[in-house]
C-alpha cells in the first residue's frame, strides 16, 4: 500500500501537464495575481495622494484660521493668503483624476482615500465664499474652483454630492464659532447675518431626503449650530446691541 500511495502522491511533485487541473488552477491564479498587483499599485497611489492631500488641507485650514480674530479690514489679506493653498489642491485633484483614468468606473472603489480630505476642502472653500459674498458656494462651483469642470472633470471624477453636503455642514459648525468670536470683538451685526444664513441653509437642507447615515448625523449637528447662533443673536438684541437698534441697551 505504501508504495502505491507514494507513487500516487508523487505525481504532485512533477510539473503538472498543461491540461491538468493543477496546471489550470495555477495558470488562472498567475493571471489573477497580476490583476491584484495592479489594483494594489493603484491603491498605493491613491493612499499616497491622500496623505499629500492631508498635508495640503492642513496648511490651507491653518492659513484661514486667523479670520476668526483679525480686525475686519485685515480679513481680505488673510483670505488671499489662504487661497494661495488652492493651486496645490487643484494639482492633487488632477493627480486623482488621472490615476482614475487608468481605472475607469472605480471612483467609489477608492473613494475612501480622499473622501474626508475633500469634505474639508469643500468646507474651507465654502467658508471663504461666505466670508467674501455672504452666500453659499454651490456644488458645481466647488468643482469649478478645483479645476474639475475645466480640466479634468469626467464621468469618472467629481466631487461626490454627500461629500459636498458634509462639507457644508462643516461650514455651519465653523460659522457658529465664528459668530461667537466676532461678537466678542464687538461686531454685533454678524450675529444676524450668520443667523439668517444658517436659517436659510437649514430650511434648504430640510428639502433633502437624507439616507446617508453620516450625512444625517452631521445634519443633526446643523440644528445645534443654528440654535447656538440664535442664542447669540438673542444675547445681542436683548442688550440692544443689534445692528438696527441705535437706541438703548437690553436692560435699560
- Window 26 to 45, contacts with a copy of itself (CB under 8 A): 26, 28-30, 32-33, 35-37, 39-40, 43
Q: Tell me which of 50, 167, 170, 242 binds a copy of itself, using CB under 8 A.
A: 242
Question: Is 237 a residue that touches a copy of itself (CB under 8 A)?
Answer: yes
Neighbour tally for 144: CB within 10 Å: 14
State yes or no: residue 107 binds a copy of itself (CB under 8 A): yes
Nearest to 203 by CA among 183, 217, 223: 223
With binding defined as CB under 8 A, does residue 240 bind a copy of itself?
yes
Of residues 94 and 141, the one with the C-beta less far from a copy of itself? 141
Using an 8 Å Cβ cutoff, are 53 and 85 in contact?
A: no
Cβ of residue 240: shortest distance to a copy of itself, in angstroms?
Answer: 6
Residue 124 in contact with a copy of itself, rule: CB under 8 A: no
Piece of the chain touching a copy of itself by CB under 8 A; list 81-89, 90-98, 144-152, 194-202: 194-202
Q: Does 251 participate in binding a copy of itself (rule CB under 8 A)?
A: yes
Query: Which of these ranges, 83-91, 121-129, 144-152, 193-201, lies near a copy of itself under the rule CB under 8 A?
Result: 193-201
Nearest to a copy of itself of 29, 87 (CB atom): 29
**Residue 53 binding a copy of itself, by CB under 8 A:** no
Amino acid at each position: 500500500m505504501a508504495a502505491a500511495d507514494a507513487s500516487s502522491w508523487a505525481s504532485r511533485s512533477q510539473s503538472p501537464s498543461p491540461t491538468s487541473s493543477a496546471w489550470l488552477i495555477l495558470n488562472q491564479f498567475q493571471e489573477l495575481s497580476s490583476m491584484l498587483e495592479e489594483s494594489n499599485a493603484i491603491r498605493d497611489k491613491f493612499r499616497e495622494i491622500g496623505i499629500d492631500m492631508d498635508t495640503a488641507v492642513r496648511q490651507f485650514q491653518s492659513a484661514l484660521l486667523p479670520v476668526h480674530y483679525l480686525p475686519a479690514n485685515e480679513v481680505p489679506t488673510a483670505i488671499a493668503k489662504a487661497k494661495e493653498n488652492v493651486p496645490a489642491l487643484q494639482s492633487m485633484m488632477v493627480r486623482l483624476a488621472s490615476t482614475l483614468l487608468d481605472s475607469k468606473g472605480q471612483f467609489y472603489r477608492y473613494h475612501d482615500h480622499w473622501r474626508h480630505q475633500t469634505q474639508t476642502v469643500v468646507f474651507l472653500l465654502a467658508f471663504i465664499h461666505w466670508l467674501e459674498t455672504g452666500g453659499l458656494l454651490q456644488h458645481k462651483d466647488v468643482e469649478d474652483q478645483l479645476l474639475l469642470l475645466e480640466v479634468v472633470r469626467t464621468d469618472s471624477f467629481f466631487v461626490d454630492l454627500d461629500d459636498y453636503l458634509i462639507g457644508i455642514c462643516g461650514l455651519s459648525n465653523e460659522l457658529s464659532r465664528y459668530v461667537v468670536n466676532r461678537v466678542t470683538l464687538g461686531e454685533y451685526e454678524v450675529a444676524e447675518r450668520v443667523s439668517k444664513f444658517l436659517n436659510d441653509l437649514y430650511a434648504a437642507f430640510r428639502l433633502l431626503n437624507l439616507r446617508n447615515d453620516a450625512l444625517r448625523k452631521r445634519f443633526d449637528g446643523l440644528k445645534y449650530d443654528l440654535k447656538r447662533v440664535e442664542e447669540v443673536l438673542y444675547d445681542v438684541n436683548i442688550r440692544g446691541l443689534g445692528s438696527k437698534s441705535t437706541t438703548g441697551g437690553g436692560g435699560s
